[in-house]
Amino acid sequence: MIIIGEKINGTIPVVKKAIEEKDEEFIRTRAIDQSEAGANYIDICAGTAPDLEVETLKWLMDIVQDAVDKPLCIDSPNPRVIEAVLKYAGKPGIINSVSLEGDKCEVIYPLIQGTDWQVIALTCDNRGIPKDVQTRIDIAKVLVEKAASYDIGPEKIHIDPLVIALATDNTSLFSFVDTMKNIKAIYPMIKVTSGLSNISFGMPLRKVINQNFLTLAIYAGMDSAIMDPCNRDTMATLLATEALIGRDRFCKNYNGAFRKGKIGPKKEK
Amino acid sequence: MDLKQLSVAVGELEEEKVSELLNEFVATNPEMEDAQKVLVACQEGMGIVGEKFESSEYFVADLILAGEILLTALNILKPVIGESSSVKKGKIVLGTVRGDLHDIGKNIFKNMADAAGFEIYDLGIDQPAENFIKKVQEVNPEIVGLSGVLTLAVDSMKDIVDGLKEAGLRDGRRIIIGGNPVTEETCKFVGADAFTTNAAEGVKICKGWVS
């Protein structure tokens, strides 16, 4: 599983506050904590007003890249902001995200043509988030075909099928899994990703729903997740699932994480 | 060759590092004597693994991984360790005794005895007397090796030795017991010829018997 650490996001109140107060240490610590917990990429989202977004993203990127060695996942709804900050990234990471809304693909794809950058592609368009599986598949196809016209292969694309809240749609998990399987049947090398918390919106004990969603989604073939690697229960769920489905030879990662105290009861210091 | 470094790498289950160190070593065309020392260092690494398992730092899958690492190590070392001649030294019927599922020690012994030129018939784990008797009748080995980690293994070992006696298969054959619970007393109680808690020593004893 590819873990994209979600904790440096200006829409989270404590992060928003740190951005406003220019609290470098807070951001740095969050980057290090996520990296040590097992994040493969660190998501960076400013979440500020548009006029401050470029400046804020650069500030965050500089701190995170100074603190950890992990590649970034640059997160903005505005492709032109991503265009403006991409040059500050020390190494290729992931762009979060494109979709068929507006001219996102047309701005982002040329930027990463011929590079090792990957991209998260959401299955939505100007009409919003599709209700059905087929529309998601159709959008994914267009997203991949457009990428191909810039020589960007499916292996560089993480499709996010945009999970719907279970509270509003009883079949939301099945829709996700169906979409994933269909897209993978067409593009075997493509990656499928998801956030973990959309599914549980409006429900009590959200973390239980999120963790079980994670297990089922990994089992069904999900490749990456935008999640909190510092949440020990989530990480334990992830590692246990990977061990159970035979992706963790000799349970090395699971046992290793336990030994290092990353999962299970916190060890006395 | 930094033997200490090798032991630690085995102890820390660093598969790639172990292979890398051993491949480098084999590439230097070492003397057989040095190769033996390297093997001992690997075994010392297994000792570290054992200790970590005892202290609950390692788990069963880690032990299995350790066994795998040692097997890989032995395969890498085979060409320089000598005695892998096609003429077999003798036959050993080997198994973990009934009621016990531990086979790491047994497998280490098996691999080392194999490397030393013995023909090994490994029955596996949780093996009752009748299976040993059957195999001994079939292949007529010079040596029978009984392995176990649990204390209850000692009784099973005795059952097997008694069984062999009753079947008239004990005489003219050596029996070695190995594993955590074996001592000189258990050896006497069981009616075995030798005991060991060290695979390398076990192989040495066996070699002494057939030479």
- Chain A environment of B59 (Cβ under 8 Å): 251, 255
A259 and chain B in contact, CB less than 8 A: yes
**Considering chain A, what is the average pLDDT of its residues?**
96
Q: Return the pLDDT at A255.
A: 95
Calculate mean pLDDT across residues B65-92.
79
d(CA A182, CA B187): 64
Closest Cα in chain B to A256: B58
* Higher-scoring residue by pLDDT: A23, A268: A23
Global ipTM = 0.71
Out of A87-96, A143-152, B62-71, B175-184, least confident range: B62-71
A221 contacts A184 by C-beta, under 8 angstroms: yes
pLDDT tens readout for residues A5-55: 999 999 999 999 999 999 999 999 999 999 999 999 999 999 988 899 999
Asked if residue B86 has pLDDT above 50, the reply is no
Q: Return the pLDDT at B83.
A: 57
Q: Return the pLDDT at A118.
A: 98
- Burial (CB < 10 A; 0-12, 13-18, 19+), residue B111, is buried
**What predicted TM-score, i.e. pTM, was given to this entire model?**
0.75
Out of A159-173, B160-174, B192-206, least confident range: B192-206
A244 and chain B in contact, CB less than 8 A: no
A250 and chain B in contact, CB less than 8 A: yes
DSSP A150-210: TT--GGGEEEE--PPPTTT-TTHHHHHHHHHHHHHHH-TT-EEEEESSGGGTT-SSHHHHH
In percent, the amount of chain B with pLDDT more than 70 equals 96
CB contact under 8 A, A255 and B57: no
Asked if residue B84 has pLDDT above 70, the reply is no
Which of B57, B64, B68 minimises the CB distance to A259? B57
Q: Return the pLDDT at A64.
A: 98
- Chain B environment of A249 (Cβ under 8 Å): 65
d(CA B142, CA B128): 20
CB contact under 8 A, A252 and B61: yes
A251 and chain B in contact, CB less than 8 A: yes
Q: Return the pLDDT at B103.
A: 85
pLDDT tens readout for residues A154-192: 999 999 999 999 998 999 999 999 999 999 999 999 999
Q: Return the pLDDT at A73.
A: 98
Q: Return the pLDDT at B82.
A: 65
Residue A65 falls in which region: left (phi positive, over 0), alpha (psi -120 to 50) or beta: alpha
Q: Return the pLDDT at B85.
A: 46
* Higher-scoring residue by pLDDT: A206, B82: A206
pLDDT tens readout for residues A98-139: 999 999 999 999 999 999 999 999 999 999 999 899 999 999
d(CA A64, CA A46): 13
Closest Cα in chain A to B68: A250
- Chain B environment of A251 (Cβ under 8 Å): 59, 61-62
CB contact under 8 A, A252 and B57: no
Beta-bridge partner residues of A128: A125
